[in-house]
Amino acid sequence: MPVQKKGSRRCGESTGYFDGRFDQVRRIREWCQKAIRMDDKRAAPVLLILSELATNAIQHSASGDQYGRVRVTVEVMPGDFVLLRVIDDGPRAGRPVTRPYVPGRIDELSIGGYGLALVSALSEKWWWTDHPQGVAVWVLIDPHRSADDD
């Protein structure tokens, strides 16, 4: 469960803080599904994208260090659009900030590099901003969108 949970059902936004461990990604998804109150089919792209972003925060930032955390904000907007934001704890000690990007070409034999391409394909738009605590990745998702809508 989140370390702290804030939210106002009036505006449809919830925020949770989670330990920066890979075993917490499942809990982050469970928390998000309760927060967005959508059936499994509509929740699927939101939860898949959230899994990728939380995993990236833990893997590529100080969120994955001892006492690290991941901050997640999810807002259900009119039309059931979902605005998702994942904020990491910034760079690991002695390392530069890791900013997300989709590689121009992904090697077929690569074991990584597909995640943000998947985020891009499943979302209406995604972007990142610098945040005082680290990097914030934002994603706008239409859970009614068909995979054929591209």
For the chain, what is the mean pLDDT? 87
Residue by residue, what is the 3-state secondary structure of 102-142?
Answer: CCCCCCCCCCCCCHHHHHHHHCCEEEEEEECCEEEEEEEEC
- Distance CA(9)–CA(126), nearest Å, equals 24
Band (pLDDT 50/70/90 cuts) for residue 107 is: low
Q: Provide the token pair at 65.
A: 């260090």
Residue 4's pLDDT band, with cuts at 50, 70 and 90, is very low
The conformation of residue 81, written as its DSSP 8-state character, comes to -
Q: Mapping DSSP to helix (H, G, I), strand (E, B) and coil, where does residue 64 land?
A: helix
pLDDT surpasses 80 at 17: yes
Q: What mean pLDDT comes out for the span 15-27? A: 97
pLDDT (tens digit, 9 = 90+) per residue, 35-86?
999 999 999 999 999 999 999 999 999 999 999 999 999 999 998 999 999 9
Distance CA 122, CA 143 (A): 9
Percent of the chain with pLDDT over 70: 83
Distant-in-sequence, close-in-space partners of 143: CB < 8 Å, separation ≥ 6: 38, 42, 43, 44, 45, 46, 80, 81, 82
Q: Which residues contact 36 (CB under 8 A, 6 or more apart)?
A: 43, 46, 74, 76, 82
Of residues 104 and 3, the one with the higher pLDDT is 104
Distance CA 118, CA 105 (A): 13
H-helix segments, the chain: 25-36, 40-60, 115-122
pLDDT tens-place string over residues 88-102: 999 999 998 888 877
Residue 3 pLDDT greater than 60, yes or no: no
**Residue 10 pLDDT grade (very low, low, confident, very high; cuts 50, 70, 90):** very low
